[in-house]
Amino acid sequence: MTAQAKSPQVKTCEELKTQPEEFRAACEKIVISHAINELYGAQVFDEPAVAFAPTPYAKWLTCRVAMEEYGHHVRFFELGREMGIDADRMIPGKTAKRPLSIFEYPLKTWEEFVAIKLLGDLAEILQVEDLLHCSFHPLRNLARMTMPEERFHAQFGADFSQEMIETSAGKKRLQQAINRLYPSLPAFFGGPKSRNNEIFRKWGIKQRTNEEMREDYIARAQEVTAKLGLILPKLAEAAA
């Protein structure tokens, strides 16, 4: 019997309160992390990108995507509140928890934003995918609700990438953006032999190890960039 098969199936936030401390704390960690990172993403990438977008079509689409990312924050935040998590623990600037390192990357161009949607949101898709069979059902259901929008965001990156590569200058700028951005992305999946990840899997909250997810991410990132005739830069040993 696997660890997941033994894990409880918790259907409500009320039921969660009766579960072992380790399980509750693990669910809280994931919800807090998503609440913080969704808001950070909207603030540091999506909102500033509106100014860089080249046409009203791209600007308004980016506005809507920013609202969807913000909406994800609100959903995770509301779930967190239902679970009894303090509001301040889920708001960047109020919590001591640092956001993911990718959010420290200052956005300077439209090409960078498109590369972030293409490859950064792909990383987000993998994270949400891993929650689709989560043993804490309110979190599982939230992941299922969020997934179509996450897929659209990655498609946004693919569609605008496709437009950019139609000119050699555009393709070159996009490749440069990928070269700058991509090396920091595999770290999105956490370190190997992570104690947190071990606990997540023990309780059936998540399904895969950080290493498995990183490996899958790299393969899928290679696939989407290859389709566009683009190349992923080599990763440093530490990042890979």
Q: Is the Cβ of residue 10 or residue 79 nearer to another protein in the bound state?
A: 79
Q: In angstroms, what is the minimal distance from the CB of 124 to another protein?
A: 17
**Residues 70, 42 contacting (CB under 8 angstroms):** yes
Q: In angstroms, what is the minimal distance from the CB of 69 to another protein?
A: 11
**What number of other Cβ atoms are within 10 A of residue 168's Cβ?**
8
Q: In angstroms, what is the minimal distance from the CB of 229 to another protein?
A: 22
Q: What's the gap between Cα 98 and its chain centre?
A: 15
Q: Where are the strands (E) in the chain, listed by range?
A: none
Extract the tokens encoding 205: 């909250």
Q: In angstroms, what is the minimal distance from the CB of 156 to another protein?
A: 7
Q: Which residues make up the interface to another protein (CB under 8 A)?
A: 54-57, 59-65, 67-68, 70-71, 74, 152, 156, 159
**Residues 23, 8 contacting (CB under 8 angstroms):** yes
Q: Is the Cβ of residue 25 or residue 74 nearer to another protein in the bound state?
A: 74
Residues in the chain: 240
Angstrom distances, CA of residue 47 to CA of 91, 112, 129, 131, 192? 17, 13, 25, 27, 33
Q: Is the Cβ of residue 66 or residue 174 nearer to another protein in the bound state?
A: 66
Q: Is the Cβ of residue 89 or residue 133 nearer to another protein in the bound state?
A: 89
Q: In angstroms, what is the minimal distance from the CB of 120 to another protein?
A: 18
Distance between CA 90 and CA 96 in Å, rounded? Answer: 10
Q: Is the Cβ of residue 68 or residue 124 nearer to another protein in the bound state?
A: 68
